[in-house]
Structure 1
Amino acid sequence: MNIKKGVVGKVYHCPIKGEFEFISNGLITIDQQGKICDVLHPSDPNYSKTLNFLKEKDSLQELTEQQFLLPGMVDLHIHAPQWPQAGKGLDLPLNEWLDHYTFPLEHKFSDLSFAEQYYPHLVKTYLANGTTTATYFATIDTSSSLYLAETCIKYGQRALVGKVSMDDKEMCPNYYVEESAEHSIQEAERFITSFSQLANNNNLVEPIITPRFIPTCSLEALKGLGDLAKKYQCAVQTHASESDWARDFSQEKYNKTDIEIYNEAGLLGERTILAHSIFLTDSDIDTIKQKGSGIAHCPRSNIYFANAALPLREYLDQDIQLGLGSDIAGGPFPSLFMACSDAVLHSRARECGTNASLPAEIRGQKNSRVSLLEAYWMATTGGGQLLKLPVGQFKKGYCFDALVIDDEDSNLLICPDLDSPQDILEKIITHTTRNNIRQVWVDGNQVK
């Protein structure tokens, strides 16, 4: 057998949108490379033989009755340098929040010693909260952005790290902007090629091309970044149609939508993450589906800053690729479990409406409710599918990225006589905090 170790216990995951699988005594075997050899049910012919083999080798972890095994979470949208500001100024309009907190803070990360104070805490915090795959915006500084990648490698987090590109001097602060479109493209390429020199990476961390959004990037820079995406086969992340202001900016300056501009620049592909994407046209949606791109839904930050609610129900029904993002610091919580609950709350507010002066029958958007299982699917399987990574579910050949959830001494109350398997999973999703997450694995390595 090519089996290195195994875990047996109560297993949950959501390989299919809106559904879940529960295995009461599931046995997951892991090979030398940290990949899943098999997911065995007690009824499988090889179950007992494999279980005994692992026990004899002293390579079996047996979960307790109060523990559960879940897949690691896939967070599609995190602003790494904004971690020190998480929770500040959330009552402000977006432009004031960015000018007062965000841009001055991100500029400080040009000092590597400053980055060294905060990036390790960020990465360890996200791992502790169950994010095994993280997609990070860093800053415009190449050196500290590479340090973030090194930090992810050091602590064992799977990650896509992006050096932010922003060169439009009319729209960026004069202290936080790249010299020119040419310089922006050159630095993006230098960042990408530097990954081959990162020690001990083992393909755990990769670069991702990261134009901040249309207002801060010239068309020349966007086109150059699109060329780099094709040249190096890199994933892409950016913001799209996040607010009325962002949507109107593109229309007024270019007479085009964000999606049309990104498409013309060559930035839409099968691993393109479009954060927010609230104000999309029917044509935009068709283009996203045609290109195989996807959307990172960030429900908490949308409530604070986006001016409107994402039509998530419609996007799910149209089979657009979807995942969740915590969006530190627009969303202040480094937890995708929280984001799952937020996504449901977001959809319920949209369904019910918010204007109490209107009659109930016209107050909300009918049939826009999203289930907790759908939200959890987005946080695991959906995110993995968007990134084209074998993560987010327990499946032969997939990476063993996993969490052990324990209900001891916490808000998580499991009632065996009252709770069905679905009830238990929904309770785990809604009540899990950092304290419940007792172990975290990435690629078969225990990192918490």
Structure 2
Amino acid sequence: MDNYSQIFHGTAFTSGEEKEVIILKDHLFCVDEKGMIQNVVAPEDDLYDTIIQEQEGKERFHRLKKGQYILPGFVDLHIHAPQWAQSGTALDLPLNDWLHTYTFPLESRFSDINFAEEVYSDLVATLLANGTTTALYFATIHKEASFLLAEICAKKGQRGLVGKVVADDPEQNPAYYRDPDTKTALAETEEFIVAVKELAKATKQGVYPVVTPRFIPSCSDEALQGLGELAAKYDTHIQSHCSESDWEHSYVKERFHKNDAFALHGFGLLQEKSVMAHCNFLEDDDVDLFAKTGTAIGHCPLSNAYFANGVIPISRFSKNGVEIGLGTDISAGATPSLYDNAKQAVISSRMLEDGVDTTLPPDKRGVADSRLTMNEAFYYATAGGGESLSLPVGRLEKDYAWDVQIVDTKAKENKLPIFDANEDLYDIFQKIMYHVKPVNIAEVWVQGEKVVSR
């Protein structure tokens, strides 16, 4: 047992299959010096009593308090990091007005490295406090500020996947906020990739560069082709938006005479380490292509409710073999909480199944077999996110990173409605998913290191 750097004793919830929540009651979780789970010991295992007798009272032994539970850290698959500075602003506007009146002017300010540091430091700390241990970020077109975001993730202990945004098309991007030309966009992207890979060598939890065309309408053909080649050269993750809205879906069809998914694939941008945000308007062939290439969907239910023009049929896409994770889409989604987005995923799916137009009869109003359970939403926020990124995160089992949030259901600022000492543990799990706020998250650990403590 000397190879364990931390041992935790308590009850935990983790995902099995998509609809399955596994309850690990009074288990021991043994974590090595690299921050990886080396052993999960059940009360009936031979080693259980021995480990407790030998380790209890030592600094590395952590026994959870009554009312505390362990959940995997959340994996957020879609965040516009600079937009944290406008979160909760003007979400009643049409998308194009919102972008040009608020978003693009704000993102252009990240040429100011001091402003970038203030916003990014606050965002990373806020996400960690909300239980998000792994985050996939869009930064801005600015190489220096984008690298600063990776440095802040490394310093604060979050597993950050960061992309310097490319938006070089002069017809689709405002003059005050775009890459000066395609050659510069690609050269700075490559420099960014190399710098983040070097930073990662000294970062225990990992930081990762991400090839990031903002979306097809923002980029020239040459930029898209060059980004696909850079992703292949350096084996990086890839992120973009795909078929988010009626406008985007139609624009790509008109420009390329094919759907967004196939256009992206033609540039080498759909592969096992690709995450595409939104994807509301994928057609059957697009879904098959996502499944075949291993491309994941970053599902952003709150953001979609504001700007996507429809409810994505996540249940159908998942049944067809597409990997799914959850995203906040700060700031089109006005909350840093994946708890909030898990709830909205369930709500939106029920609205899709039941329909919203009450002038239609019930049998014509909705889309059958669309609803999600909270179990599935929890899976997407944890294990599904980890699988989408091809990283060993999001599960509480051997050979996964010790990325966890310790939830205190008895926090006096937000005591959960649990009154029966013998309440069913699955019911407690559901109450956690529906009621937890940051004040309930007593500790957050990433790669075996404590990064939040209340």
Per the TM superposition, whether the score is higher than 0.5 is: yes
Distance 1:147 1:282, change over 3 A: same
**Structure 1 contact 5–54 (Cα < 8 Å) conserved:** no
Q: Secondary structure at the match of 1:447?
A: strand
Q: Show the 5 A alignment for 1:368-387.
A: 368-387=370-389
Contact between 1:79 and 1:136, CA under 8 Å: does it hold in 2? yes
Q: Return 356-365 or 117-126, whichever deviates more.
A: 356-365
Pairing partner for 2:204 from 195, 202, 222: 202
Q: Secondary structure at the match of 2:56?
A: helix
Question: Is contact 2:288-2:320 (8 Å) kept?
Answer: no
Q: Which residue of 1 aligns with 2:125?
A: 124
Name the counterpart of 2:51: 50
1:71: how far off?
0.5
SS of 1:226's partner is: helix
Which residue of the partner structure matches residue 276 of structure 1?
278
Stretch deviating more after TM superposition (104-113 or 348-357): 348-357
**Structural RMSD (CA):** 1.2
- Equivalents in 2 of 1:221, 1:418: separation in Å? 59
Aligned-partner SS, 1:405: strand
Cα shift at 1:265: 0.3
Which AA in structure 1 matches 2:235? Answer: Q
Tell me, yes or no, if structure 1 residue 161 matches structure 2 residue 162.
yes
Does residue 67 of the first structure (1) align with residue 55 of the second (2)?
Answer: no
Q: Residue 197 of structure 1: CA displacement?
A: 3.9
* Structure 2 residue aligned with 1:243: 245
Show the 5 A alignment for 1:298-309. Answer: 298-309=300-311
Secondary structure of 1:21's counterpart equals strand
Counterpart amino acid of residue 322 in structure 1: I
Give a deviation string over 1:51-107, Cα, whole Å, max 9, x none. 222225432111111100111000000000000111000101100000011000000
After the TM superposition, which of the residue ranges 310-319 and 145-154 deviates more from structure 2? 310-319
Structure 2 contact 205–446 (Cα < 8 Å) conserved: no
2:151 counterpart of 1:150: yes
Deviation at 1:407, TM superposition (A): 1.3
Q: Deviations over 1:190-222 (max 9, x none)?
A: 100112443832361110110000100011100
Residue 420 (structure 2) pairs with residue 416 (structure 1): yes
Counterpart position of 2:437? 433
Q: What's the counterpart of residue 226 of structure 1?
A: 228
2:314 and 2:370 in contact (8 A); partners too: yes
Task: Name the amino acid aligned to 2:210.
Answer: I
Opposite residue 286 of structure 1, the aligned amino acid is D
> What is the CA distance between 1:361 and its match in structure 2?
1.9
Q: Which residue number in structure 2 is paired with residue 211 of structure 1?
A: 213
Task: Report the counterpart of residue 40 of structure 1 in structure 2.
Answer: 41
- TM normalised by structure 1 equals 0.98
**DSSP-derived class of the 1:384 partner:** helix
Match of 1:324 among 308, 323, 326: 326
1:15 deviates by 2.7
In 1, distance between residues paired with 2:340 and 2:131? 11
Aligned residue for 1:445?
449
1:292 counterpart letter in structure 2:
G
**C-alpha offsets along residues 261-287 of structure 1, whole Å, 9 cap, x if unaligned?**
111101111010010001112111111
* Preserved contact between residue 205 and residue 447 of structure 2 (Cα < 8 Å): no
3-state SS, counterpart of residue 109 of structure 1: helix
- 2:212 & 2:81 partners in 1: Cα distance? 13
What is the distance in 2 between the residues matched to 1:56 and 1:420? 30
Secondary structure in structure 1 of the residue aligned to 2:271:
coil
Work out the number of aligned pairs and report it: 448
Equivalent residues of 1:402, 1:442 under 8 A apart? yes
Per-residue deviation, 1:418: 7.3
- Shift, 1:50, TM fit: 1.6
Partner of 2:142: 141
Return 5+ residue gaps in structure 2 as ranges.
Answer: none
Q: Which amino acid letter does the alignment assign opposite residue 428 of structure 1?
A: I
Counterpart code for 1:412: L
- Which runs of 5 or more structure 1 residues have no equivalent in the other structure? none
Cα distance in 1 for partners of 2:51, 2:44 equals 12
Alpha-carbon deviation of 1:315?
1.2
| Letter of the structure 2 residue corresponding to residue 88 of structure 1 | T
Moved more, 58-67 or 77-86: 58-67
Separation (CA, whole Å) in 2 of partners of 1:287 and 1:24: 40
Equivalent residue, structure 2, for 1:254: 256
| Alignment match of 1:345 (pick from 344, 347, 355) | 347
CA–CA distance in 2 between the matches of 1:225 and 1:161? 15
Residues 1:127 and 1:270: Cα distance change in structure 2 (over 3 Å): same
Give the SS at the match of 1:309.
coil
| Map of 1:400 onto structure 2 | 402
Aligned partner letter, 1:426? Q
Which residue is 1:81 aligned to? 82
Aligned-residue offset at 1:417: 5.6
Tell which deviates more after alignment, 437-446 or 29-38: 29-38
The equivalences for 1:22-33 within 5 A come to: 22-33=23-34
Report the Cα distance in structure 2 between the residues aligned to 1:184 and 1:203, rounded to whole angstroms.
28
User: In the aligned structure 1, how far is the partner of 2:349 from the partner of 2:198?
Assistant: 44
What is the DSSP-based 3-state SS (H/G/I as helix, E as strand, rest coil) of the residue aligned with 1:44? coil
Aligned counterparts of 1:318 and 1:424: Cα–Cα separation in 2: 31
* 2:157–2:205 Cα contact (<8 Å) kept: no
User: SS of 2:104's equivalent?
Assistant: helix
1:291-342 CA-to-partner distances (Å, cap 9, x unmatched) read 1111010000000000011011101211210000000000000011111101
What's the % identity of the aligned pairs?
A: 44
Specify whether residues 411 and 242 from structure 1 end up closer, same or farther in structure 2 by C-alpha distance, changes over 3 A only.
farther
Tell me, in whole angstroms, the C-alpha distance in 2 between the residues paired with 1:349 and 1:310: 11
- Whole-angstrom CA distance in 1 between matches of 2:358 and 2:58: 64
User: Equivalent residues in 2 for 1:95-110 (5 A)?
Assistant: 95-110=96-111
Letter of the 2:188 partner, please give it.
E
TM-score (ref. length: structure 2): 0.97
